[in-house]
Structure 1
């Protein structure tokens, strides 16, 4: 099976911060042990259909709403934990990086530094970082 790319989801990371955030959410969803089609569906339901495409919008949606949307997309195995971690991800991005992945990149300085900072987000492990950096590195390094 081929790896998912940002363009497969209609994301163009070269367009800047907003698109990078969408890719970060997608990478987070794809980084879990769940079928690719289900993860893609969850991304489309959360980001495309419900416009939860910024850290603030995603955070304001709340846990219950996120669980409902993930369930709607059949992302049910990890719906509760994924919803909680997405909210924490947005909180951390807002509180430590002014809601900006570009700020995270700036403070990370090097690719390794950025990868280390990404893994400090709860629920973001090596696989999520690998997926995200495949596209983000084209913009940042």
Structure 2
């Protein structure tokens, strides 16, 4: 089992935040960028395109709630287009603008206030996340899986998709037993890796054989 976990982290353990160039910290800018990424990953489009789109938006100035709100609709569409995130570019541009405005209105641009508002209750936190345009249950799961790297009260956040990945590579499907296989600081990486193998049978077979 230890060999499987090591192979899993080695082959697929890079978080989606890392791929998008987000040095994840408990800071307003980093948390907003993660929310943007969760929004983009929620759409029926490849993770690679979503990550590329996030990078383009951040480069254009949309790396904070205020910066995203300052970009006009066409500037957001253009950034999405440069990443070839074109199928949902117009609706996504609208959602990102509305999301930024809500972060400003409800949290003064600082998502560190969300745990306080949720009283560090995971269910309530997910409800608050789903109030953002473009963030549904899938987006809330994405955000929480990654945010557990900096918000210890979320740990272990291992949702149904991560458990599906665990089953594919022969790891425990009980969240507590699965979490006990790694250190707390590695749970976000483990979650990202399990999501990848849940979606990619070839990768799962590669990890299982390692």
Q: What TM-score results when the alignment is normalised by the length of structure 2?
A: 0.62
What is the CA–CA distance in structure 2 between the aligned matches of 1:101 and 1:129, rounded to whole Å? 14
What is the CA–CA distance in structure 1 between the aligned matches of 2:26 and 2:118, rounded to whole Å? 21
User: Which structure has the larger Rg?
Assistant: 2
Q: Which residue of 1 aligns with 2:71?
A: 61
What is the CA–CA distance in structure 1 between the aligned matches of 2:94 and 2:105, rounded to whole Å? 16
1:37-70: CA deviation from partner (whole Å, max 9, x where unpaired): 11111011111x2232110111101111101111
What is the CA–CA distance in structure 2 between the aligned matches of 1:57 and 1:73, rounded to whole Å? 19
What is the CA–CA distance in structure 2 between the aligned matches of 1:104 and 1:91, rounded to whole Å? 15
What is the CA–CA distance in structure 1 between the aligned matches of 2:133 and 2:54, rounded to whole Å? 19
Q: Which residue of 2 aligns with 1:90?
A: 100
Q: 5+ residue gaps in structure 2? A: 1-11, 154-210
Match among 65, 75, 82 for residue 85 of structure 2: 75
Write out the 4+ residue segments of structure 1 that deviate beyond 3 Å after TM superposition: none
Matched pairs, number = 140
Q: 5+ residue gaps in structure 1? A: none
Q: Which residue of 1 aligns with 2:47?
A: 36
Q: What TM-score results when the alignment is normalised by the length of structure 1?
A: 0.91
Instruction: Assess, with a 3 A threshold, how the Cα gap between structure 1 residues 96 and 23 changes in structure 2: closer, same or farther.
Output: same
